[in-house]
Chains A and B, each alone.
Chain A
Amino acid sequence: MAKSQISMTVNGKKVEELVEPRTLLVHFLREQLHLTGPHIGCETSHCGACTVDLDGKSVKSCTMFAVQANGTDIRTIEGMAAADGTLHALQDAFREMHGLQCGFCTPGMIVRAYRLLQENKNPTEEEIRFGISGNLCRCTGYQNIVKAIQYAAAKLNGVPFQEAAE
């Protein structure tokens, strides 16, 4: 099938590329833009490892064609840190709270958590768990991921982090 030209902003940079209509956004990001942060963990849109932030929405990039993303503004894990390399509060938090082990779900998880905290600056534990229910993890059992998001939320809100009593 003939390729078409698409353009979009990815991690703050304008990109222009040729794609087949059937090229999945996740493959476009990984193979053509060399952003291998978003990962592929399934082909049925369940695992969320491919999650990116697109026009202010958390989107599973494996369930969208690159052509559908024409003209959009996309942020992947590679765009989470500041231009000078300072890590985003969530990136720091995941390390601080041991919210990752093999690291495979982590890019999608952090990018989703970013949008979650935009939707809700101060989520309860239940809201966090529901908020990341589109992201599967096989290593951590989620508990420290929840803590990491709580820690980051506190940081972003400028309040001390209160670890919940056991």
Chain B
Amino acid sequence: MIPASFAYHRPSSIKEAVTLLGSLGDDVRTIAGGHSLIPMMKLRLASPAHLIDLAGIADLKGIREDGEDVIIGAMTTQHEVIASDFLAKKIPILSETSIVIADPQVRYVGTIGGNVANGDPGNDMPAVMMCLNATYHAVGESGERRISAREFYQGAYVTALKPGEIVTAIRVPVPAAGHGHAYEKLKRKVGDYATAAAAVVLTASGGKVASCSIGLTNVAETPLWAEEASKIVIGSALDAATVKKAITAAEAITSPASDGRGPAAYRTKMAGVMLTRALGRAKARAGF
């Protein structure tokens, strides 16, 4: 219940944060909304000697357009994602996902940056970002670099982020107008991580799938971009036989943990069921 001691820092700029990160040694963590980190600290599963609070950095907030992309500041809360009419219009899968993350209090404080950056396989946004082909802006002492979400996740709590870097923003290409989308999450109760979840974004043309991107949550040590399954449905009208093939391909890349949510074999099957339902809803939204 009680965390170990630490020193607290609250920089007011990205530069200051990065400098601190570089100078405080190895035992340092950044804290965004804190609703992943603080529970871990209270159980003493994490005991950093230094905590760098990113809440005072104005440049980490905000949602804006940049050409054909939307840039979302890393410290944007889930609540702000849901409240954004702009995002609701442009990238509706984001608020559909936000609303099934945790509970109202957590969404007021938890950030989209925290959700994508800490590498927890249970988080929902990572698979959605892979599905959307998002890019993360990461800033370290050597400047900014961009990392594709599809290349960001390497293992449970292991990401492509180097020591000393922080994710400052998420760049999402806006899906085509009229696209179909769905985030389908099976969970034991509100607030739970996914037993399995599937993110689908697709476009249609002439009654057939023109493009499709599929992400899977919490059915492996990392979020999954189901590239093969996505390819299978292209050119089809999402008939039962094609969908079945895609499900098989999606199931094949899963390797879920067995836990209270169910044995691994069950969770693999649920990834398939969630994907089936997500494809169905996305199809309806795309209007074919």
Contacts and interface: CB of A to CB of B under 8 A. Distances in A.
Interface in A13-32: 20-22, 24
Contacts of A62: 42
Contacts of B5: 1, 20-22
Given A57-B79, A131-B104, A134-B103, A65 B191 contact: no
A44 B109 CA distance: 15
Contacts of B10: 67
Interface string B1-35: 11111111010000000000000000000010011
Looking at chain A, what size class is its interface with the partner chain? Answer: 20 to 34
Contacts of B51: 21
A130 to B, nearest CB: 7
A64 B109 CA distance: 9
Contacts of B106: 45, 60, 63, 134
A48 interface: yes
B190 interface: yes
A59 interface: yes
B39 to A, nearest CB: 5
B228 interface: no
Contact of B34 (A1, A58, A68): A68
A22 B109 CA distance: 18
Contacts of A22: 2-6, 41
A129 B34 CA distance: 25
Looking at chain B, what size class is its interface with the partner chain? Answer: 20 to 34
Given A46-B191, A63-B34, A57 B42 contact: no
Contacts of B6: 1, 21-22
A148 to B, nearest CB: 17
A43 interface: yes
Contacts of B109: 57, 59-60, 63-64
B104 A58 contact: yes
Which of B2, B7, B42 neighbours the largest number of chain A CB atoms within 10 Å of its CB?
Answer: B42
Contact of B104 (A45, A64, A133): A133
Nearest to A63: B38
A68 B35 CA distance: 13
Contacts of A57: 79, 108-109
Interface string B103-142: 1111011000000000000000000000000000000000
A1 B51 CA distance: 13
A39 interface: no
A132 to B, nearest CB: 8
Given A22-B6, A63-B106, 11 more contacts: A1-B7, A21-B51, A45-B38, A57-B79, A57-B108, A63-B35, A65-B8, A68-B31, A112-B104, A112-B105, A132-B104
Interface of B: 1-8, 10, 31, 34-35, 38-39, 41-43, 51, 53, 55, 79, 102-106, 108-109, 190-191
6 contacts: A40-B1, A45-B106, A48-B103, A68-B31, A68-B53, A68-B55
